[in-house]
Structure 1
């Protein structure tokens, strides 16, 4: 929904909006959410750990300053709210609420994943994932993408830094700032805007061609490779070098990684999006069926995972397996929303 319409009528300023007579977000009560700790800062906003005043529960508040934000980036803020609202899956960061917007800022309250992001863990070098562990993480990533795609959303910025982990071993996709939601029509290639992080861009994006959900599948394959190899499959000293390496398409096998796993990686990074598998086709692969069953069994046995979360995960797996059985690919249901 990169080109979502800005509402004609808007809510009061985020910092001043009253909920039950108190500000939405502030440094100290009385307010609905209390700032605790700055956890991230970018060109157009900040991310804060916040505490809900009524019960002390901790969340993340993403605050975007709209006064210094280009118009297109403002639209991404509206896109993020809409796409987060439209997704409800245990492997997707959960939307809680937002402040409403007007001129100054928008505040989005989201679930907190308590073990940082995958990219940080890989960069720090203090975590090494076995093939089994990487397979279980990738299964969760594909289950999440499968749900996102079923909701007619393309994420467009899948990368290790946007994949968040929890202390009970769950993976959650976050940061829908570049996401795009589209109306259900007939064409698969839905977007033409060059977005995302360069190391994870698919060949069709580098060629400035129209692209669909398969661009998320490519990026997921890059993340899987990165998780196992502790390096990205394509490097470059400049954007032009990186582009050339991606388009040449040579992927070095990862030492000590099994044949089936490498075949999975190669399939997700097929340079032809028409030959790249959908999330349904990935989940149908024997290796992924094995990891899906393994993930299901781990969730059932893990005492650290809350019962209600277990129920949501089991239901999400069952829904995905039904889609595999019925060959629901969600790849022929989109057109350019513009």
Structure 2
């Protein structure tokens, strides 16, 4: 631990472990310096020796703090509050999200009721729309990266695969196969140029994950999983999982869909779990 980190925070118990390091809860030693009413945070300590010389690993290590510092704050984005570095580790102080992520929540509780699923999707798409308005494409949206803070508010996390598109570039300006295979958009797999709508596809697959269903090669709604799912929910999923990115809705258009406005149209401050 760097002396500067220990001077500012009391580092407490481990709350998570990943490929490159450990996440611990930490307490701000001077609560009056807190950026909000909260003094509890998470510190993600990245072991530099675990990061290979592979360009992708190095890119992920450097990209997350860069993108999070560039993006204006949003209630549904994980924020970075401080960064510290020593010879062996990079330490990022982030919002504390001590509730189960979406993957674990669904695995534990099973499929969520439509109103709750819609509120989750609404918060997720607000975060995505905010990123897109500031020319950031996340590129790895999946239930594991959809976290919840102590108030139950959704926080989109893990920007290691994110990319910034300059304002003058066309909507399809990115290349490279990144993300998690199950959730990646077809245009990425095909090796074509792509744009911000890859995030809408991934969010749509995550929505299917919310309902506990399985995607086939062609989008279908097996009665076993979708018997009780409304027609408006299935209509939105068909649109979000359109293989033609030019016909796929934007994040803002998803937020305007009837299913989202009916169930999930309340502001992002709504607490859902």
TM-score, with structure 1 as normaliser: 0.71
C-alpha spacing 1:106/1:164, structure 2 compared with 1 (3 Å): same
**What is the CA–CA distance in structure 2 between the aligned matches of 1:161 and 1:249, rounded to whole Å?**
24
Deviations 1:266-287 (A, max 9, x none): 1100011111100122122233
C-alpha spacing 1:290/1:40, structure 2 compared with 1 (3 Å): same
Name the residue aligned to 2:88. 104
Higher mean displacement: 35-44 or 252-261: 35-44
Higher mean displacement: 213-222 or 38-47: 38-47
C-alpha spacing 1:159/1:280, structure 2 compared with 1 (3 Å): same
Name the residue aligned to 1:123. 107
8 A Cα contact 2:25 2:40, kept in partner: yes
**What is the CA–CA distance in structure 1 between the aligned matches of 2:268 and 2:160, rounded to whole Å?**
33
Cα shift at 1:298: 8.0
**What is the CA–CA distance in structure 2 between the aligned matches of 1:127 and 1:282, rounded to whole Å?**
24
Is 1:187 aligned with 2:159?
no
Name the residue aligned to 1:50. 26
Structure with the greater alpha carbon radius of gyration: 1
Name the residue aligned to 2:80. 95
Is 1:263 aligned with 2:245?
no
**What is the CA–CA distance in structure 1 between the aligned matches of 2:44 and 2:106, rounded to whole Å?**
24
Deviations 1:256-304 (A, max 9, x none): 10001100011100011111100122122233233354x23984xx7x9
Cα shift at 1:188: 1.2
Q: What does residue range 313-332 of structure 1 map to in structure 2 within 5 Å? A: none
Is 1:296 aligned with 2:264?
no
Among 63, 77, 82, the alignment partner of 2:45 is 63
**What is the CA–CA distance in structure 1 between the aligned matches of 2:119 and 2:209, rounded to whole Å?**
15
Among 82, 86, 94, the alignment partner of 2:70 is 86
Is 1:273 aligned with 2:245?
yes
TM-score, with structure 2 as normaliser: 0.87
8 A Cα contact 1:249 1:271, kept in partner: no
Q: Secondary structure at the match of 2:237?
A: helix
Deviations 1:135-194 (A, max 9, x none): 111111111100011111111110001001235332111111111113221311222221
Name the residue aligned to 2:34. none
Gaps of 5+ in 2: 32-37
Q: How many aligned residue pairs are there?
A: 260
C-alpha spacing 1:167/1:105, structure 2 compared with 1 (3 Å): closer
Cα shift at 1:215: 0.7
Cα shift at 1:64: 1.3
Gaps of 5+ in 1: 1-14, 17-22, 235-244, 305-338
Cα shift at 1:221: 0.4
Is 1:213 aligned with 2:196?
yes
**What is the CA–CA distance in structure 1 between the aligned matches of 2:210 and 2:164, rounded to whole Å?**
28
Is 1:147 aligned with 2:119?
no
Cα shift at 1:255: 1.8
**What is the CA–CA distance in structure 1 between the aligned matches of 2:121 and 2:29, rounded to whole Å?**
36
